[in-house]
Structure 1
């Protein structure tokens, strides 16, 4: 790992920042998040410092079962995982399926468990086990479409979008008017009030009968806003501490308090571009400012990978190369909830097949120390809380290397975290002047004490990072 070990070249240590509120060209700092961020009924207190881990049951073990996955729970708990997001566990449609096993997202029954994974009783027991270990469970929900052999296809065709001839159709991209190509699923019609009520009842089943802690809602932006306005209060009645994650970048989802969190796609894509030398780290400021202007509540999910990115866009190593660890430090310390995907802690450098059985090649757990260290810091230092629970991100500008060094701090009360990232493939040397940050810090990865003083010079090797806390 690239950490403070790379600072052995330092001639003298710098204070990590600039005078609070200074706006001159030399070593200024700037608050990058809105001061008027509002509380949200969608953000339960238990998630204030939580992280999230996506579970791909099919690919997790050779058996691909709930029982086999359960053997990994002690390891995940030890690593510091808080929320387990299960990709859909429902039976998969046989009709028009892709590949030999089909997509998790072609659901044939919303209130059953895929028999290839196990039984409903086994899933209920797994939920109880996870919660008994102090972790939470959210279930991947697929509200936009069903598989073609869902009972509603024949019993309630009016629940579906139909063409001029009355034929049920697959989902359409509203921007182009053309099909997405999701031919294995049938598009649901939210203009039908009975469909809306049926969908809410199916979600309530998992809250009331199984006891899950919330939902990750697939393509939530393709479902009308007024459905979430109708559904979420009902769900919240069943579980006042429900956690809702939207697969979207749609401000009303959070601003209207329907969802606690949605996807930090724009920052994710920017991290890929910076790693590939196509964008400057300064562009991070532009993204943060844009999002701060659009969102008044909740927080983003920050990620290096997930099931879609891994299978369709490439592995972390393919997209980020030597920048991967620095990008992990960014994603896990910037405001928002960090996500890990199945196999990420093992340095998964393999694109998992989406419609076939394709077991994760674990090959040890070489990235576990990196992620455990970051998760432990998030748990222990309140500055890294999610949304209002944490400290706002305050930029630290480095004049000599502003196109390469991205630095910031987050402070909450007397506690703070200071981050320096060399987001370039060249070594960087820079000087910082800020008496406000003078003092002793813990170097998180080296577990050593660092004394910061003013007017001192630092060096960072390519794609290296320095993570300090008080």
Structure 2
């Protein structure tokens, strides 16, 4: 099966509390729970066409909420929003208490979620945050043999190979939030590589940078032998979650962690868990091959196809650019995770992109059908979620908050309808993701047709072929708001590349399911209709040339 990931924040997914007070507390606005992912809900996600769920925000992170005497609130000065960032980890060996019905049994509830997810035929991905952690990191759930981060550091020096943190020995960091003040002596370097005791509001001021054996504050010398203490600590954390049955990790800001660590770590992990899925958040295409060679299965494709398609939706790019972009990714083309939304990016249906999920559907169709790479859908994307709420720390920015307690209206209404609410967009996503699983699209070869259709770009059209075995697909995507009848010329070279003969072919039309028979000839103009903001695929059963 082709990997198809459904990214979801449990904190928001099952929260049916519609209070949605701006900056509201846990008590006021509520929180979703692990138990909200019932067998029925998991089945709906599977039926959408997904194979994996990325549960975002599972590990315990800094928050302004207290959960009994054993889990106090973090200092408000180092928490973004009321709920806090899922990427300011406070305990790598624990789960977020807000996600549990019974806080004392929170790990049992997560383990039960793992079992339910697997029973539904889905695999589980969680975040691994290796570059930074909360300024108030303190694990109360770590194994007895584990020392906390920084517990044995020499804080009198800026850098030491076995220190977990970087220090500014003569300086004190002070952060404030209202009447609350947080101080840290000596100051530690901030998560986004800021070696200052005065990080700005735009820095990752709530986090501390982890030391992997590079003297970042000095001469950038590397100290990997013997293996730095941080390396061993991180490997232990990954083994801990993999042993529980987690099937994969989305590795946050992997490019800020040295590649030699990933090579060492992934090799050791996969000796024990050979099927473990490792996904790297990387934004530097010139470095992609480094991370592939280090052992990552897949890398984020944000600055490639995603950026191009968003520009296209905004009228700032041409459909003719798609083929060239795909060609530029040839060296790592099977290693890129395709998506059109995630927690970092602006919602497609927001006012900042196209304002309507239907108008964005062509971009998802291209993402899903041009190759067999892993796909990702962000919860609510399939319902046209606009992300235009002003939740608190997260303003009206077109993103669904990761910092606040909130309830997402599209998801809430879908859940309250028990999946019975009509959602034409969701039906289109389900049909598209189902089509993307066919071997023709999951494994087939690709041939760009737009360069051979001189007027397609001006009409917002993109055409291509996919071929596999005795099957061929002609796909035309329409980025315009009017339906179009188009004539596609298939050049002689395409016949050679896909091994197409000119015998009678059975044609199945997607998505309407109609059938007919045709005979294709080189440079013949083949006619089909494409709906507004839609996609049409004609699936041919062909005889391959011998």
Task: Please classify the TM superposition score into its range, dividing by the shorter chain length.
Answer: 0.7 to 0.9
Determine the structure 1 residue equivalent to 2:42.
73
2:466 equivalent to 1:410: yes
Q: Kindly tell me: are residues 446 and 156 of structure 1, through their superposed partners in 2, closer, same or farther at Cα, counting changes over 3 Å?
A: farther
**Which segment drifts farther, 413-422 or 339-348?**
413-422
Determine the structure 2 residue equivalent to 1:261.
298
TM-score by length of 2: 0.70
Determine the structure 1 residue equivalent to 2:407.
359
Superposition deviation, residue 383 in structure 1? 2.0
Q: Kindly tell me: are residues 339 and 127 of structure 1, through their superposed partners in 2, closer, same or farther at Cα, counting changes over 3 Å?
A: same
Q: Could you tell me whether the CA contact under 8 Å between 1:401 and 1:428 is conserved in 2?
A: no
Q: What SS does the corresponding residue of 2:187 show, helix, strand or coil? A: coil
Q: Kindly tell me: are residues 70 and 203 of structure 1, through their superposed partners in 2, closer, same or farther at Cα, counting changes over 3 Å?
A: same
Superposition deviation, residue 253 in structure 1? 4.8
Q: Which runs of 5 or more structure 2 residues have no equivalent in the other structure?
A: 16-30, 63-73, 101-105, 139-147, 154-162, 171-185, 214-222, 388-398, 415-420, 541-546
Cα deviation code 1:413-438 (max 9, x no counterpart): 12333310123456655433347486
Determine the structure 2 residue equivalent to 1:279.
317
Q: 1:197 aligns with which of 232, 243, 246?
A: 232
Q: Kindly tell me: are residues 360 and 167 of structure 1, through their superposed partners in 2, closer, same or farther at Cα, counting changes over 3 Å?
A: same
How far, CA to CA, are the matches of 1:149 and 1:451 in structure 2?
Answer: 67
Q: Could you tell me whether the CA contact under 8 Å between 2:347 and 2:381 is conserved in 1?
A: no
Q: 1:187 aligns with which of 185, 209, 212?
A: 209
Q: Kindly tell me: are residues 218 and 287 of structure 1, through their superposed partners in 2, closer, same or farther at Cα, counting changes over 3 Å?
A: same
Determine the structure 2 residue equivalent to 1:328.
364
Superposition deviation, residue 86 in structure 1? 1.1
2:240 equivalent to 1:220: no
Cα deviation code 1:212-252 (max 9, x no counterpart): 11101001111111110010011102211111111114413
Q: What SS does the corresponding residue of 1:116 show, helix, strand or coil? A: helix
Bigger Cα Rg: 2
Superposition deviation, residue 447 in structure 1? 1.6
How far, CA to CA, are the matches of 2:455 and 2:150 in structure 1?
Answer: 67
Q: Could you tell me whether the CA contact under 8 Å between 1:207 and 1:238 is conserved in 2?
A: no
Superposition deviation, residue 315 in structure 1? 4.1
Q: Could you tell me whether the CA contact under 8 Å between 2:85 and 2:402 is conserved in 1?
A: yes
Matches within 5 A, 1:1-400: 48-62=1-15, 63-70=31-38, 72-93=41-62, 94-95=74-75, 96-118=78-100, 119-151=106-138, 152=148, 154-157=150-153, 158-163=163-168, 165=170, 167-172=187-192, 181-191=203-213, 193-208=228-243, 210-249=244-283, 250-256=287-293, 258-265=295-302, 266-293=304-331, 295=332, 298-309=334-345, 313-318=346-351, 319-320=353-354, 321=356, 323-335=359-371, 336-350=373-387, 351-361=399-409, 362=411, 363-364=413-414, 366=423, 367-379=425-437, 381-385=438-442, 390-397=443-450, 398-400=453-455
How far, CA to CA, are the matches of 1:444 and 1:462 in structure 2?
Answer: 15
Cα deviation code 1:73-120 (max 9, x no counterpart): 121122222001111311112241111111011101111111111211
Q: 1:449 aligns with which of 515, 529, 532?
A: 515
How far, CA to CA, are the matches of 2:133 and 2:257 in structure 1?
Answer: 13
Q: Kindly tell me: are residues 446 and 254 of structure 1, through their superposed partners in 2, closer, same or farther at Cα, counting changes over 3 Å?
A: farther
Determine the structure 1 residue equivalent to 2:488.
432
Q: Kindly tell me: are residues 181 and 427 of structure 1, through their superposed partners in 2, closer, same or farther at Cα, counting changes over 3 Å?
A: same
Q: Could you tell me whether the CA contact under 8 Å between 2:128 and 2:249 is conserved in 1?
A: yes
TM-score by length of 1: 0.81
How far, CA to CA, are the matches of 2:485 and 2:291 in structure 1?
Answer: 40
Q: What SS does the corresponding residue of 1:348 show, helix, strand or coil? A: coil
Count how many residue pairs are aligned between Structure 1 and Structure 2: 411
How far, CA to CA, are the matches of 1:127 and 1:405 in structure 2?
Answer: 43
Higher helix proportion (structure 1 or 2): 1
Cα deviation code 1:353-377 (max 9, x no counterpart): 2211111212346222112112222
Q: Kindly tell me: are residues 343 and 429 of structure 1, through their superposed partners in 2, closer, same or farther at Cα, counting changes over 3 Å?
A: closer
Q: Which runs of 5 or more structure 1 residues have no equivalent in the other structure?
A: 1-47
Q: Could you tell me whether the CA contact under 8 Å between 1:400 and 1:430 is conserved in 2?
A: no
How far, CA to CA, are the matches of 1:219 and 1:401 in structure 2?
Answer: 38
2:456 equivalent to 1:401: yes
Superposition deviation, residue 66 in structure 1? 0.1
Q: Kindly tell me: are residues 140 and 314 of structure 1, through their superposed partners in 2, closer, same or farther at Cα, counting changes over 3 Å?
A: same
How far, CA to CA, are the matches of 2:484 and 2:118 in structure 1?
Answer: 46
